Structures are given as structure tokens and as C-alpha cells.
């Protein structure tokens, strides 16, 4: 029973740690400090693969250079497109950016007009985007939640291990000497 309780406690604390990490990521995302991005196409392969998780941070548009990989909102899809900058030029109070996916033959259909800050991927976690996508589907999330509740219940229902009586070395030595003296 003790072994089962220990395994349940290890699993519970591991999941609690993952939960805290998710909370920190959620908080940083809600505060606008980071933006997690899941790569859904092969346009940047082999450098950035489909299913990778990118963590982007805000960068001033004035700091961008040709060759940088950035995530900009597309007028065609209303979604962020993560591609490499192939040209950038000043345009009024902002910039006009031309981008192209590393694995694409041609530049993007439209140029991107930007001002202020843009998202620039700083961290790439290979394959983690696929895991996040799968874990957030109801078919996976609901059984995980049920399993977590079961683990919590298991740790609460199983009896706690009996505390062992602790004796000092001196007390053990005196007891041993008393036993030998008899």
C-alpha cells in the first residue's frame, strides 16, 4: 500500500508542477509578455518543422532586419504568419515588410504593413506544439482530468504510512550496551 501511495504522490506532484508551469505561461501570455505559437504548415522547414512550438516575444519594428524570422498578421487569413523577412522599407510612420517561407518558392502574396511591436520567435521546442494540440482536445483532456481526480482521491483515501519511532544514536548505543551487559 505504501508503494502505491508513493507512486500516486509522485504523479500528483509532477502534475502539480506541470500545472504551475502552465499557469505561469498563461499569465505571461495574458500579460502580453510572450505568445506561444504552434506551427501548422511546412513553409519554414527544415529549420522550423510542422508541430513545433514557438515562444515569441515582442520586438520593436524598428529593430527588425532582413533575415529575421517574425510572426506578422496576414490580411488574407487574419492569422499570424511566421516567415523570414526578405525586404523591409520605411513607409510613413511604419514599415512595409516582404516575407517568404524558407521552404516556399515565392514570397508571400501580400506585403505586411507594420508599426510598433511585432512578435519574434525566440524559443523553439521541437514537436511540443503537436503535444499541446493533442492534449487540449476533449478526447485527451477529459480522461487526463478524470485521472488527476482519481490520483488525488487515491492519495487521500490510502492511509498515511505509520511514522517510525526515531531514536538517537546515543539511545541505541545505550540499549545495545545494556543488552550486552546482561
Which of 41, 71, 74, 168 is catalytic? The answer is 41
- 42-48 contact pairs (CB < 8 A, 24+): 42/103, 43/83, 43/101, 43/102, 43/103, 43/104, 44/69, 44/82, 44/83, 44/84, 44/101, 44/102, 44/103, 45/102, 45/103, 46/102, 46/103, 47/102, 48/82, 48/102, 48/121, 48/124
In this prediction, residue 50 carries a pLDDT of 93
Tell me the pLDDT tens digit for each residue of 68-78.
Answer: 999 999 888 88
Share of the chain above pLDDT 90, in %: 41
- Residue 107, class by beta-carbon neighbours within 10 Å (0-12 exposed, 13-18 middle, 19+ buried)? middle
Q: Please indicate, yes or no, whether the overall pTM of this predicted structure exceeds 0.85.
A: no
pLDDT at 161: 62
Give 14-29 pLDDT, tens digit per residue. Answer: 888 888 888 888 888 8
Distance separating alpha carbons of residues 90 and 81, to the nearest angstrom: 20
Burial of 94 (0-12, 13-18, 19+ CB in 10 A): middle
- Assign 28 to helix, strand or coil: helix
The mean pLDDT of the chain is: 85
Strand partners, 38: 53
Q: What is the largest CA-CA distance in the chain?
A: 100
The yes-or-no answer on residue 74 being catalytic is no
Going along the chain from its start, the domains and CATH numbers come out as 1-32+127-161 (no CATH), 35-126 (2.10.109.10)
Amino acid at each position: 500500500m505504501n508503494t502505491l501511495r508513493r507512486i500516486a504522490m509522485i504523479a500528483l506532484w509532477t502534475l502539480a508542477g506541470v500545472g504551475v508551469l502552465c499557469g505561469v505561461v498563461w499569465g505571461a501570455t495574458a500579460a502580453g509578455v510572450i505568445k506561444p505559437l504552434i506551427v501548422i504548415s511546412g513553409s519554414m522547414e527544415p529549420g522550423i518543422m510542422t508541430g513545433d512550438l514557438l515562444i515569441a516575444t515582442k520586438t520593436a519594428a524598428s529593430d527588425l532586419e532582413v533575415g529575421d524570422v517574425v510572426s506578422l498578421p496576414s490580411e488574407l487569413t487574419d492569422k499570424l504568419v511566421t516567415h523570414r523577412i526578405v525586404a523591409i522599407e520605411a513607409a510613413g510612420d511604419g514599415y512595409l515588410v516582404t516575407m517568404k517561407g524558407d521552404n516556399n518558392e515565392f514570397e508571400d502574396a501580400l506585403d505586411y504593413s507594420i508599426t510598433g511591436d511585432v512578435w519574434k520567435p525566440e524559443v523553439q521546442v521541437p514537436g511540443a506544439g503537436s503535444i499541446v494540440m493533442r492534449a487540449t482536445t476533449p478526447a485527451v483532456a477529459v480522461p487526463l482530468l478524470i485521472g488527476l481526480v482519481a490520483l488525488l482521491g487515491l492519495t487521500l483515501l490510502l492511509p498515511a504510512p505509520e511514522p517510525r519511532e526515531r531514536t538517537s544514536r546515543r539511545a541505541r548505543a545505550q540499549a545495545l550496551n545494556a543488552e550486552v551487559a546482561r
